[in-house]
């Protein structure tokens, strides 16, 4: 019953049955591809969910540069939310286990539950937002896990993976 009420209220406010949550990775994309993909999709804000968002390897996707480019090129707001990133320990263990995705996925999903991220984020803020990480494809990236977790908790979420 509550789910139906939530969807009805969402529909009345937004004129649609679902909010859209985008995801994108910046690896193996030119700056032009990256920013034009976001612009064409109608992304409203970028939610950076990387643990380390200032890496020299990130090129145009380093925090300060990215914030500037998003605003100037696309009119997109930038927000970094470290609570949506894995811990250093989870990442290190994943690398140590030579990429045992099943273990990583279980540990990260448990972390999201412990952090109760769905209670710290508003659906209004996340509607039209794009989760950013580095991985080229979402299949083995925590951005997909975050999007699916929020969809499970909020129910009225349509996930769109960009640039894959």
Q: Is the pLDDT of residue 16 over 80?
A: no
Tens-place pLDDT, residues 90-104: 999 998 878 889 999
Tens-place pLDDT, residues 59-95: 899 999 999 999 999 999 999 999 999 999 999 999 8
Q: Is the pLDDT of residue 58 over 90?
A: no
Q: Is residue 161 classed as helix, strand or coil in its secondary structure?
A: strand
Residue 78 pLDDT? 98
For range 97-121, the mean pLDDT: 94
Question: Which CA distances in Å does 59 have to 55, 56, 78?
Answer: 8, 6, 16
Give, in degrees to the nearest 5, the angle at Cα 44 between 42 and 50: 110
Residue 4 pLDDT? 47
Q: Is the pLDDT of residue 21 over 50?
A: yes
Domain ranges, ordered by start, for the chain:
21-161
Which one-letter DSSP state was computed for residue 98? T
Domain 21-161 class, CATH top level: alpha beta
């Amino acid at each position: 019953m509550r789910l139906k009420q939530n969807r009805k209220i969402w529909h009345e406010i937004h004129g649609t049955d679902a909010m859209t949550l985008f995801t994108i990775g910046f690896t193996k994309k030119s700056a032009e591809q990256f920013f034009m993909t976001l612009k064409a999709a109608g992304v409203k804000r970028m939610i950076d969910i990387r643990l380390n968002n200032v890496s020299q390897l990130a090129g145009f996707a380093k925090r300060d540069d990215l914030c500037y480019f998003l605003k100037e090129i696309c009119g997109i707001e930038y927000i970094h939310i470290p609570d949506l990133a894995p811990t250093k320990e989870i990442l290190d263990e994943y690398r140590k286990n030579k990429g045992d995705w099943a273990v990583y996925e279980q540990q990260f999903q448990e972390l999201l539950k412990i952090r109760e991220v769905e209670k710290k984020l508003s659906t209004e803020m996340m509607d039209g937002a794009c989760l950013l990480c580095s991985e080229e494809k979402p299949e083995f990236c925590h951005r997909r896990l975050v999007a699916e977790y929020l969809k499970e908790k909020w129910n009225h979420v349509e996930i769109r993976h960009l640039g894959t």
